[in-house]
Chains A and B, each alone.
Chain A
């Protein structure tokens, strides 16, 4: 029997980006807020000190900052007629753990989605006709438009101090920025980061091929910055240990550097770390949440009653908690009914490595930041005519190399032995003269009827709850998209002057063992129709009106960009709806 704690106005599940944003907004409203976080408290001086953070083995290879699969994992299969097996060690993505969530160990890429991404189904149907889309594709409009979200994109960019070059200022296309972006109300808060050698060489080659390269918008700051909450950040020092690592330098935007020190001082905010929420409790009508039940590190269960429940864990954990709490109708792909677990997606990532003559090119590739890079956006979303190509969607391509940590960055050209004297000589020959963009081809992943999440019939977690089952494969549309983008990318790498160009394509079947990105999305998607979405346009549950579900679980499909800026903007958008609409009259904000 769970012990009952004093009631709060708001309980927040998960203290990462979205939980921190929402907690700060709702405490500003005077509400009493309690955040419950599964993992430990983490802070820059204690957990990411510059004396030992640059440890590739500990943080990258052994996953120190991530969730442990023994705490929580998933099962995986490609197709519905296969048996899903547990992900025993992380591979394709790395779920976060602890205060700050993925905001601790992300790279800091801060992309806005395209205006057409938010009305994708309508847009593609109008331009190409419904028959152009694959029959099993289940893309849909988001229920929120770019113009509605723009002020909230701006809020999050200014919270983070984002470094970048505007490409579209109030409708005017700006030289040096991304000409394809939607109009922005004002420039980025800080200037774009200066670029290392290979990144500038990429931009030059791209420009000569007729593209319009621009610096990747970055949450690693080019300069000192004080955000609207008074949080101070320092300039990035290009240490080359960013993704997988915490930033010891207060240079990477994270909840720790931009929100939490402000939030924690408010007397109406409190938090609990090392406490995992087991379920959201609902009353007898099933339409109202009464609070949450969580278990602390000693195994003791507690009930935290609250009037408003914010589910702001990592995307896939949100879906899992909804299923475990029996909120909403689980998705059934056969009958094509239900919503929870529907429209799960990822990214379609590949890259092209370039090997250059060491006599002419020394890139010092270890100099980098998480979101450094020069990119081109000509082939993202619907920025180009897909008619002749037979697929939809796209992605950005760019030299976005984040450093050259030696375990993973000692590459040899194809055809070289993988060990022995020749391998050793070749590694030595090329290390300083290799371009290794990592996620250089950053493609979208659209949604499909038989790619989804549900509860596994066999495997259980440490509390005896069923693991969630991921049914996920790569469809011909995304394979074609990736081939097209990777070939375009390889042309630019070649034009940079590489003597050897090594593309790798993303192909079916989907592989759970090789890392792509941690951008896993959907499963509790937003929309305008309760039959095809879990939450309405304000991220409010259709079923339980005092429950809001934040995060990338709301994405109906995944565009060809990194998700975090949109995740943060949606959190500010939902917070605004709560502050200006819900609190005036608690209940459904939209009739469904």
Chain B
């Protein structure tokens, strides 16, 4: 011990090396001191949990059909690539709304809630799940009133397209919902599900990645940094592998 310690009036204590020591009786892990070694154990981790296919988790059957029809308008099928519906974008949205995202988990949701400027961000006690429900109800009502009682998912695809264009142009107004703004959110969500890893329910069989040429969750392009203007030859791979590797990705 040198002089500078005594000038700092230090009370030095022996340290129990090699183990975390508990200071108070009944202390739990959160009162534990990290000491001597990195506090991780082999093979620990928090891997993602792939969604399982099956019935809607959040949507009602009619809501589900509506969102599937919306998904096919936003990403129409073509000869090479499936549309939003078959790619699973509606399943993606359903599972997202049923999970932490739908409930605004982790966000600041303390009152008061005041209407702010757009650049102050979302200010509502309602999370995305509730907002989707309200939008879909108002959207269904508007469709039925314009098309003789028909819900959106029963319309001809040309009528669906024109109806969405009118919502975008604010020629069709929805009850108590900003139809234009919410449709923009639906566009974002459908496209997000299309491009996210297939484990979230969309981008089924990596159709979106195949369409654009994204090779997926790879980890090493070291040999390719210097190969300029050459087509990368490998097909995409997801976090749960590829269909031909395992059965999980096929589900």
Binding site for B on A (CB under 8 A): 3, 5-7, 9, 29-32, 34, 41, 43, 45-47, 49-52, 54-58, 61-62, 68-70, 73, 76-78, 82-83, 85-89, 91, 193-197, 200, 235, 237-240, 248-249, 260-261, 264-265, 267-275, 296-298, 300, 302, 307-308, 361-364, 366-367, 404, 406-407, 410, 418-421, 424-425, 427-428, 431-432, 458-460, 509-513, 583-586
Main secondary structure on A side of the interface with B = loop
Q: Is B176 an interface residue (CB 8 A)?
A: no
Whole-angstrom distance between the Cβ of A548 and the nearest chain B Cβ: 14
User: Are B224's CB and A458's CB within 8 A?
Assistant: no
User: Are A56's CB and B197's CB within 8 A?
Assistant: yes
Between A and B, 13 residue pairs with Cβ closer than 8 Å are A41-B39, A47-B45, A56-B195, A57-B200, A238-B220, A238-B221, A248-B219, A264-B34, A270-B33, A298-B30, A367-B232, A512-B119, A586-B8
Whole-angstrom distance between the Cβ of A458 and the nearest chain B Cβ: 7
Question: In the bound complex, what is the Cα–Cα distance between A71 and B111 (angstroms)?
Answer: 15
Q: Which of B35, B187, B221 contacts A237 (CB 8 A)?
A: B221
Q: Is B106 an interface residue (CB 8 A)?
A: yes
Q: Which residues of A contact B123 (CB under 8 A)?
A: 85-86, 88
Q: Which of B10, B28, B36, B225 contacts A307 (CB 8 A)?
A: B10
Q: Which of A46, A260, A267, A421 contacts B36 (CB 8 A)?
A: A267
Q: Mark B1-42, 1 if CB is under 8 A from A, else 0.
A: 110110111111101010000011000101111111111111
Whole-angstrom distance between the Cβ of A503 and the nearest chain B Cβ: 20
* 20 other A-B residue contacts (CB within 8 Å) besides A88-B108, A420-B73, A421-B76: A9-B8, A32-B13, A49-B45, A69-B108, A70-B109, A78-B119, A85-B123, A88-B121, A89-B104, A195-B225, A196-B228, A238-B222, A264-B37, A267-B36, A271-B34, A296-B31, A362-B230, A419-B73, A509-B117, A513-B120
Q: Which residues of A contact B214 (CB under 8 A)?
A: 366, 404, 406, 431
Q: Which residues of A contact B230 (CB under 8 A)?
A: 362, 364
Q: Which residues of A contact B35 (CB under 8 A)?
A: 264, 267, 269-271
Question: In the bound complex, what is the Cα–Cα distance between A70 and B121 (angstroms)?
Answer: 15
User: Are B232's CB and A364's CB within 8 A?
Assistant: yes
Main secondary structure on B side of the interface with A = loop
Whole-angstrom distance between the Cβ of A54 and the nearest chain B Cβ: 4
User: Are B76's CB and A420's CB within 8 A?
Assistant: yes
Smallest CB-CB A-B distances: 9 pairs: A431-B212, A197-B228, A297-B30, A54-B217, A69-B108, A406-B195, A68-B106, A237-B220, A511-B119
Q: Which of B23, B48, B74, B122 contacts A58 (CB 8 A)?
A: B48
Whole-angstrom distance between the Cβ of A432 and the nearest chain B Cβ: 5
Q: Is B75 an interface residue (CB 8 A)?
A: yes
Whole-angstrom distance between the Cβ of B157 and the nearest chain A Cβ: 11
User: Are B121's CB and A91's CB within 8 A?
Assistant: yes
User: Are B33's CB and A88's CB within 8 A?
Assistant: no
User: Are B212's CB and A267's CB within 8 A?
Assistant: no
User: Are A267's CB and B17's CB within 8 A?
Assistant: yes
A52-B47, A69-B108, A297-B30 given; A410·B218 CB < 8 A: no
User: Are B220's CB and A239's CB within 8 A?
Assistant: yes
User: Are B48's CB and A237's CB within 8 A?
Assistant: no
Binding site for A on B (CB under 8 A): 1-2, 4-5, 7-13, 15, 17, 23-24, 28, 30-42, 44-48, 73-76, 78, 81, 101, 104, 106-110, 112, 114, 116-123, 161, 184, 187, 190-192, 195-197, 200, 208-209, 211-222, 224-226, 228-232, 239
User: Are B213's CB and A431's CB within 8 A?
Assistant: yes
Whole-angstrom distance between the Cβ of B71 and the nearest chain A Cβ: 10
User: Are A367's CB and B221's CB within 8 A?
Assistant: yes
Q: Which of B109, B187, B221 contacts A88 (CB 8 A)?
A: B109
By beta carbon, the residue of chain B nearest A299 is: B30
Q: Which residues of B contact A46 (CB under 8 A)?
A: 40-41, 44-45
User: Are A419's CB and B38's CB within 8 A?
Assistant: no
Question: In the bound complex, what is the Cα–Cα distance between A431 and B226 (angstroms)?
Answer: 20
Question: In the bound complex, what is the Cα–Cα distance between A30 and B217 (angstroms)?
Answer: 45
User: Are A85's CB and B229's CB within 8 A?
Assistant: no
Q: Which residues of B contact A302 (CB under 8 A)?
A: 31
User: Are A200's CB and B228's CB within 8 A?
Assistant: yes
Whole-angstrom distance between the Cβ of A364 and the nearest chain B Cβ: 5
A237-B222, A270-B35, A404-B214 given; A32·B228 CB < 8 A: no
A41-B34, A85-B114, A364-B232 given; A54·B239 CB < 8 A: yes
Question: In the bound complex, what is the Cα–Cα distance between A138 and B129 (angstroms)?
Answer: 45
Q: Which of B2, B11, B39, B211 contacts A428 (CB 8 A)?
A: B211
User: Are B224's CB and A364's CB within 8 A?
Assistant: yes
Q: Which residues of A contact B232 (CB under 8 A)?
A: 364, 367
User: Are B192's CB and A362's CB within 8 A?
Assistant: no
Question: In the bound complex, what is the Cα–Cα distance between A421 and B158 (angstroms)?
Answer: 13
Whole-angstrom distance between the Cβ of B150 and the nearest chain A Cβ: 21
By beta carbon, the residue of chain B nearest A298 is: B30
User: Are B225's CB and A76's CB within 8 A?
Assistant: no
Whole-angstrom distance between the Cβ of A167 and the nearest chain B Cβ: 22
Q: Which of B15, B41, B221 contacts A240 (CB 8 A)?
A: B221
Whole-angstrom distance between the Cβ of A269 and the nearest chain B Cβ: 8
Q: Which of A269, A460, A513 contacts B119 (CB 8 A)?
A: A513
